């Protein structure tokens, strides 16, 4: 055993409901910039779990309490399997984001299920969870929480850009960390790829064969959201109200839609990135070769190549890191990002 290092598990279940991401990470004592992802796996949801998590928004508070416990038991079983399969012997704690069921921070509500007490009991590990509630209590949005990880784990990089359902960015301006959603990405590209019977447009092949609809492109770029200053965020409702009707009224050909939307994304992303700065890009959109090429056409940024583990598991890694900060009683929620009344150390610790 080397006392300079310690090991943690990070668990994240994202909005896309593809599964639970688990990472086993090596951290260094007294050096927050060090991390190494040793093992990583996504455990896909069964149809039953997917349905339950999707429907839970309509559950009564008693039903939610039951789900909190049964989902906690489920996470515990995934952790036990992971520890067994990868022969993990050293583990300081588990940090679990859980799954977000309710999130209306302006009404003081945020709920991530997966009861930590259940996980601690069944895994016999120290567990840190419930990272968002305290921030909402302090008047913050309870999200995004990843930027503190960007700040401390990737301090040598100017921009951390995520290309998921939506694209978001975080960077340090002259005074503090800034983070915001830039524009929709895969949530829109997938919808149109689905019309061709595809899950997504692999490598952006179909988009690359389409033609730009200039009127549509201009109208997309003129949407009011893009003129607003951060902090700002996007949701599915906005896409349904502002983006889809616009596309459908102006372009019928799917490859032209994909081509035009890729151009829109590339233009919006490049408009927030300053030339010659470094950018770490993560999220599944990294594999859209055509989109990355288009971004490169508009900017002179230096793209830092991320490993596949980092591309796919950065959020789970950062929740493990938020656990490290909580256990060390250090700030893990930034008021400059969430709008809370103060910076604070968030999360609840459960002992086995
Ligand atoms: N080879 C590929 N070519 C093009 N696109 C890809 C490829 N692989 C993955 N993607 C895109 O990435 C998406 C998955 O990305 P990711 O897992 O980051 O999304 P997410 O978890 O829904 O995002 P978030 O929760 O951060 O919004 C896929 O749905 C698809 O659109
Ligand atoms: C409430 C909640 O679960 N929000 C998630 C969600 O998924 C993406 C986006 O919306 C982000 O705000 C957040 O997660 C990331 C990991 C965050 O907190 O940084």
174: phi then psi, degrees, rounded to nearest 5: -60, -30
309-331 burial, b for 16+ CB within 10 Å, e for fewer?
bbbbbbbbbbbbbbbbbbbeeeb
Kindly state the percentage of the chain with pLDDT values over 90. 93
Kindly state the percentage of the chain with pLDDT values over 70. 99
Write down the H helix ranges in the chain.
47-55, 61-85, 116-123, 133-137, 147-153, 186-194, 205-209, 214-221, 236-238, 244-250, 254-272, 289-298, 308-327, 335-338
> Residue 179 above 80 pLDDT?
yes
> Residue 2 above 90 pLDDT?
no
Q: What are the Cα distances from residue 331, in Å, to 8, 37, 337?
A: 18, 22, 13
Q: Report pLDDT digits (tens) over 241-269.
A: 999 999 999 999 999 999 999 999 999 99
Q: What would the mean pLDDT of 196-222 be, rounded to a whole number? A: 97
> Residue 86 above 80 pLDDT?
yes
Average pLDDT, the chain: 96
Catalogue all structural domains in the chain, each as residue range(s) with its CATH number.
Answer: 5-145+313-350 (3.30.420.40), 155-300 (3.30.420.40)
> Residue 237 above 90 pLDDT?
no
Three-class DSSP category at 143: coil
Ligand 1 atom index nearest CA of 190:
31
Instruction: Supply 305's token pair.
Output: 């190549």
* Predicted complex ipTM: 0.96
The residue whose C-alpha atom lies closest to atom 14 belonging to ligand 1 is 284
Instruction: Please report, in angstroms and rounded to a whole number, the separation of the first and last CA atoms in the chain.
Output: 22
CB-CB contact of 347 with 322 (8 Å): yes
Cβ–ligand 1 distance for 114 under 6 Å, the answer: no
More confident of the two residues 124 and 3:
124
What CA dihedral angle connects 325, 328, 330 and 332, to 10 degrees?
20
Cβ–ligand 1 distance for 299 under 6 Å, the answer: no
């Amino acid at each position: 055993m080397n006392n300079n290092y310690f090991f943690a598990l990070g668990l994240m279940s994202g909005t896309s409901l593809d599964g639970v991401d688990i990472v086993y990470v090596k951290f260094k004592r007294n050096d927050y910039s060090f991390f190494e992802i040793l093992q990583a796996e996504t455990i896909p949801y069964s149809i039953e779990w997917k349905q339950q998590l999707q429907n839970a928004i309509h559950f009564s508070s008693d039903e939610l309490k039951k789900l909190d416990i049964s989902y906690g038991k489920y996470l515990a079983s995934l952790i036990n399997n992971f520890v067994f399969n990868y022969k993990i012997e050293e583990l300081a704690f588990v940090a679990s984001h859980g799954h977000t069921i309710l999130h209306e921070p302006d009404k003081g509500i945020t709920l991530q299920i997966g009861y930590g007490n259940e996980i601690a009991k069944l895994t016999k590990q120290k567990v840190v969870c419930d990272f968002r509630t305290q921030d909402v209590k302090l008047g913050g949005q309870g999200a995004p929480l990843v930027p503190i990880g960007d700040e401390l784990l990737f301090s040598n990089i100017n921009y951390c850009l995520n290309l998921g359902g939506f694209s978001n960015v975080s960077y340090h301006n002259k005074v503090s960390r800034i983070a915001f959603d830039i524009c929709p990405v895969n949530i829109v590209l997938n919808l149109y790829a689905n019309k061709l019977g595809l899950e997504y447009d692999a490598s952006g092949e179909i988009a690359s064969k389409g033609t730009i609809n200039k009127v549509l492109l201009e109208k997309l770029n003129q949407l009011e959201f893009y003129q607003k200053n951060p902090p700002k965020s996007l949701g599915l409702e906005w896409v349904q109200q502002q983006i889809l009707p616009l596309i459908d009224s102006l372009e019928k050909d799917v490859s032209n839609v994909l081509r035009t939307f890729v151009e829109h994304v590339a233009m919006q992303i490049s408009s927030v990135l300053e030339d010659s700065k470094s950018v770490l890009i993560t999220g599944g959109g990294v594999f859209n070769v055509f989109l990355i090429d288009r971004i490169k056409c508009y900017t002179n940024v230096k793209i830092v190549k991320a490993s596949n583990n980092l591309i796919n598991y950065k959020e789970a890694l950062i929740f493990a890191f938020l656990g490290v900060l909580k256990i060390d009683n250090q700030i893990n929620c930034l008021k400059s990002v969430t709008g809370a009344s103060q910076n604070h150390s968030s999360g609840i610790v459960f002992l086995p």
